[in-house]
Structure 1
Amino acid sequence: MVTDKDGYVHLVQYLTEHLGLFESTGMSADSTDTVMELFEEQLSAQIIMVCGQNPQLSFAQRNMVIREIDAIVYDLEEILGSIGNHRATAQQSIFVTEFSGLIKNLFDQEIDRLLN
């Protein structure tokens, strides 16, 4: 659905280009959440929004969306590695929010194609 599209590949590249933001040491954490917890929270919120905006999705289609999010979280864990366990800074929180919004945009486009 999403993870096999060029847009997703570009987002993964975008993340890897900005890994320095997550590898920086000496920055004080502004959150009690880890980087991965922030990604999970933001992606969950975005997918709840996607499903809420598309009540015509069937049960099977909703499950497909959830499986895709699971795959994305797995990819994020692989890319971030142990960095994902660090407490997030304000800059990292902003990046995670923006990145999650871009993921939602991919789902919006694919669901639009699926339903039309």
Structure 2
Amino acid sequence: MVLDKQGYDELVMYLTQHLALFEKPGVVKANAPKVLELIEDVIAEHVIRLCEQHTGLTTEQRSLIVREVDGIVYDLQEVLSSVTEQRVTEEQREFIEEFAGLVKNLFDNAIN
């Protein structure tokens, strides 16, 4: 659906261009989640929103979306493996939320 499209390749490039955010220290708020926890939570929220907005999706389409999102999270986990257990900084949080929105946009475009 999206993993084999140019848009996903561009999204990966966008991630690589912003890896420095995960290599430098920053402000960590009290009780901040770990990087991987935030990635999983924010992307899950966007997938739920996607499915709520596209009520005509079949069970097979929803399953495909979940499988591809799992692949995206796995890719993120691989790229960010050295920092997934660290507490997320405010800059990282902003990037992760933006990235998740871009992932949702990829699926929105594929569905439309």
Q: TM (normalized to structure 1)?
A: 0.91
Q: CA deviation at 1:29?
A: 1.7
Q: CA deviation at 1:84?
A: 1.5
Distance in 2 between the 1:54 and 1:34 partners? Answer: 30
In the other structure, the counterpart of 2:83 is: 83
In the other structure, the counterpart of 2:53 is: 53
Aligned to 1:82, what secondary structure does the other structure show? coil
In the other structure, the counterpart of 1:29 is: 28
Matched, 1:10 2:20: no
- After superposition, the C-alpha distances for 1:51-107 in whole angstroms (9 at most, x for unaligned) are 001111111110000001100011001111121111001111011111100110000
In the other structure, the counterpart of 2:97 is: 97
Aligned to 1:92, what secondary structure does the other structure show? helix
Aligned to 1:84, what secondary structure does the other structure show? coil
Give the counterpart letter for 1:53 in structure 2.
Answer: Q
Which stretches in structure 1 are left out of the alignment for 5+ residues?
A: none
In the other structure, the counterpart of 1:107 is: 107
Which stretches in structure 2 are left out of the alignment for 5+ residues?
A: none
Aligned to 2:82, what secondary structure does the other structure show? helix
Structure with more helix by fraction: 1
Q: CA deviation at 1:43?
A: 0.5
| Deviation >3 Å, runs of 4+ | none
How many residue pairs end up in the alignment?
111
Distance in 2 between the 1:49 and 1:43 partners? Answer: 10
Q: CA deviation at 1:39?
A: 0.9
Q: Which deviates more, 41-50 or 27-36?
A: 27-36
Q: TM (normalized to structure 2)?
A: 0.94
